[in-house]
C-alpha cells in the first residue's frame, strides 16, 4: 500500500494530528539549525521526542543569574540556595537599636575628638559570615567583642580611612586638611591604641542602645588585621550587618558592626516585637487599668485550723461520729492560704458568733519552703 492510499484511509482527526506533528518538527529543526548548525532535530524518527536544548538566556533565568533582575529578588535555583538565609525584616526592633546607637555615637565621638562628628546609618542588611569576611576591603582593623550576658561574639570593622582620621584628630591634626594615608604597612602601636579607644566608646554606646530592650555588656576581646584570625562563626551563618559612617568635616570613614543571629538568639522574641519608641511599647494607660482591675479581683482564702498526717488504713476505719484530735491550741496563729500558697498568719478569735482571723504577718514567697 502506498503513502497516498494510507493518507486517504486516515480520518480527519488523524490528519490534523499529523499536520501538528509536522509543524512542531519544522519549528524545532529550523530554530536549532539556525543557532547550532542543524544539530539536535526533534527526533521524529524515534517516535516524536520533543526534547530541545535550552539557550543561554533560559539557563540564566533558571539558575537565577538573569542580568535584568540583578539587584532585585533572587529567583530560580539561587532563590532555593538563599532560602536558608534569615530575613532581616523579621527583627524590626533592630532599627530602633541602631537608631539609638547613631545618636549615642554622635555625642560620644564628639566628646572623644572635640570635633564636630556626624554619625549616620547607611544600611542594615543580612549577610552570610563567610561572604562578608571575603568582601572586607583591606587594610582594616577588626575588633572582636563579646556579649557577656548572651555568651557570644560580634565583630566591629573599622576601615582605613576612619583609622587615619581618628589618629589625625586625636593627635591634633588641623581641620580642613584630609588625613594622610600610608598604605602598605601594618598599623603601629599608637594607631592601634587610639582606634581601641574609639572602639571602646562605640561598644559602650552599643550596650546603651540595647539597654531599653535587654541589658547587655559588650567587652572588647582582641583586635586583628587579618580576617582569618577574626573568625567568630561558621562561614554559612546568617549575620546582621549595620554599616555606619562617621564624618568629621573633610575626614571620616566607615564602621561596620556584624552580629551573628546566634548571638541575638537569647533576645530573639524581644526583637520580633513590633512596638516602637524609646519606652519600647510601655503603655501606662493599660498598666493603670490592669492595676485597678487586679485590686477589684475577688480571691478565696482558706484558714487552716489544723493539719494532721493519718495513715490510709486508719482513715478507712473512720465512721460517723469519729473524733479526730489536733495539736492546735487556741493561742496558736492560723495560716491563711490562697490555693496552696501560704499568704498570711494571725491569731484566731470570735466576732458575732463566727470564728475570725486577724491578719498579723505576711509570709514572703521565699519562706514557702520553711512553712
- 80 and 92 belong to one structural domain: no
How far is the C-alpha of 45 from the C-alpha of 29, rounded, in Å? 13
pTM of the shown model: 0.53
- 72 and 133 belong to one structural domain: no
Smallest Cα–Cα separation from 113: which of 162, 158, 173, 166? 166
Q: Is the pLDDT of residue 205 over 50?
A: yes
47: in domain: no
Q: Is the pLDDT of residue 257 over 80?
A: yes
Q: What is the pLDDT of residue 329?
A: 75
Say whether 33 sits in a helix, a strand or coil.
Answer: helix
- 346 and 309 belong to one structural domain: yes
Q: Is 8 or 16 the better-scoring residue by pLDDT?
A: 16
DSSP code for 184: S
- 10 and 124 belong to one structural domain: no
Give me 161's grid cell.
580611612
Q: Is the pLDDT of residue 87 over 80?
A: no
Q: Which residue has the cell 540583578?
A: 70
How far is the C-alpha of 227 from the C-alpha of 359, rounded, in Å? 68
Q: Is the pLDDT of residue 26 over 50?
A: yes
Return mean pLDDT, the chain: 76
Give me 34's grid cell.
539556525
- 144 and 161 belong to one structural domain: yes
108: in domain: yes
Kindly report the CATH number assigned to the domain that includes residue 108.
3.40.1550.10
How far is the C-alpha of 109 from the C-alpha of 144, rounded, in Å? 20
How far is the C-alpha of 17 from the C-alpha of 1, rounded, in Å? 21
316: in domain: yes
Q: Which residue has the cell 520580633?
A: 272
DSSP code for 229: G
Domain count of the fold of the chain:
4
- 176 and 70 belong to one structural domain: no
- 150 and 8 belong to one structural domain: no
In order, the DSSP letters of 256-267 are EEEEEHHHHGGG
CB contact at 8 A, 72 and 65: no
Q: Is the pLDDT of residue 267 over 80?
A: yes
Q: What is the pLDDT of residue 314?
A: 85
pLDDT in tens, 279-331: 445 567 888 888 888 888 888 888 887 788 888 888 888 888 888 887 777 77
Smallest Cα–Cα separation from 210: which of 129, 148, 142, 283? 148
- 155 and 71 belong to one structural domain: no
- In 203-214, which positions are buried (b, 16+ CB within 10 angstroms) versus exposed (e)? bbbbbbbbebbe
331: in domain: yes
| Omega within 30 of 0 (cis) for the link into 139 | yes
Residue 244 CA, chain-centre distance (Å), reads 19
Contacts for 326 with CB less than 8 Å, ≥ 6 apart: 305, 306, 307, 308
Domain ranges, residue 362 = 302-367
- 188 and 257 belong to one structural domain: yes
Tell me the range of 133-137, 159-163, 201-205, 300-304 where mean pLDDT is highest. 201-205
Q: Is the pLDDT of residue 42 over 60?
A: no
- 112 and 153 belong to one structural domain: yes
- 135 and 257 belong to one structural domain: yes
- 133 and 234 belong to one structural domain: yes
What's the Cα-to-Cα distance from 263 to each of 62, 100, 232, rounded to whole Å? 35, 19, 10
How far is the C-alpha of 355 from the C-alpha of 334, rounded, in Å? 12
Q: Is the pLDDT of residue 179 over 70?
A: no
Q: Is 190 or 54 the better-scoring residue by pLDDT?
A: 190
Lowest model confidence (mean pLDDT) among 166-180, 216-230, 267-281, 318-332: 267-281
Amino acid at each position: 500500500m502506498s503513502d497516498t492510499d494510507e493518507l486517504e484511509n486516515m480520518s480527519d482527526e488523524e490528519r490534523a494530528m499529523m499536520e501538528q506533528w509536522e509543524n512542531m518538527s519544522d519549528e524545532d529543526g529550523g530554530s536549532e539549525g539556525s543557532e547550532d548548525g542543524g544539530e539536535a532535530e526533534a527526533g521524529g524518527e524515534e517516535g516524536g521526542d520533543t526534547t530541545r536544548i535550552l539557550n543561554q538566556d533560559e539557563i540564566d533565568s533558571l539558575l537565577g543569574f538573569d542580568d535584568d533582575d540583578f539587584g532585585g529578588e533572587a529567583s530560580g535555583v539561587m532563590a532555593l540556595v538563599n532560602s536558608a538565609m534569615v530575613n532581616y525584616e523579621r527583627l524590626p526592633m533592630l532599627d530602633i537599636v541602631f537608631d539609638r546607637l547613631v545618636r549615642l555615637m554622635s555625642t560620644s565621638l564628639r566628646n572623644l575628638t572635640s570635633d564636630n562628628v556626624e554619625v549616620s546609618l547607611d544600611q542594615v542588611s543580612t549577610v552570610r559570615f563567610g561572604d562578608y569576611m571575603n568582601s572586607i576591603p583591606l587594610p582594616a582593623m577588626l575588633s572582636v567583642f563579646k556579649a557577656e550576658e548572651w555568651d557570644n561574639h560580634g565583630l566591629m570593622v573599622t576601615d582605613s580611612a576612619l583609622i587615619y582620621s581618628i589618629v589625625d584628630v586625636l593627635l591634633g591634626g588641623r581641620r580642613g586638611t584630609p588625613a594622610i594615608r600610608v598604605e602598605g604597612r601594618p598599623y603601629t602601636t599608637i594607631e592601634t591604641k587610639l582606634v581601641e579607644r574609639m572602639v571602646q566608646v562605640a561598644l559602650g554606646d552599643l550596650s546603651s542602645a540595647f539597654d531599653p530592650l535587654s541589658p547587655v555588656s559588650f567587652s572588647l576581646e582582641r583586635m586583628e588585621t587579618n580576617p582569618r584570625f577574626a573568625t567568630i562563626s561558621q562561614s554559612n551563618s546568617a549575620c546582621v550587618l549595620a554599616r555606619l559612617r562617621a564624618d568629621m568635616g573633610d575626614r571620616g570613614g566607615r564602621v561596620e558592626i556584624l552580629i551573628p543571629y546566634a548571638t541575638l538568639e537569647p533576645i530573639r522574641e524581644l526583637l520580633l516585637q513590633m512596638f516602637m519608641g524609646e519606652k519600647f511599647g510601655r503603655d501606662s494607660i493599660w498598666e493603670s487599668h490592669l492595676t485597678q482591675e487586679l485590686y477589684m479581683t475577688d480571691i478565696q482564702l482558706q484558714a487552716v485550723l489544723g493539719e494532721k498526717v493519718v495513715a490510709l488504713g486508719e482513715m478507712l476505719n473512720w465512721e460517723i461520729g469519729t473524733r479526730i484530735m489536733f495539736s492546735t491550741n487556741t493561742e496558736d496563729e492560723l495560716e491563711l492560704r490562697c490555693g496552696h500558697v501560704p499568704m498570711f498568719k494571725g491569731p484566731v478569735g470570735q466576732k458575732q458568733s463566727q470564728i475570725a482571723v486577724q491578719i498579723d504577718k505576711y509570709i514572703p514567697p521565699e519562706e514557702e519552703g520553711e512553712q
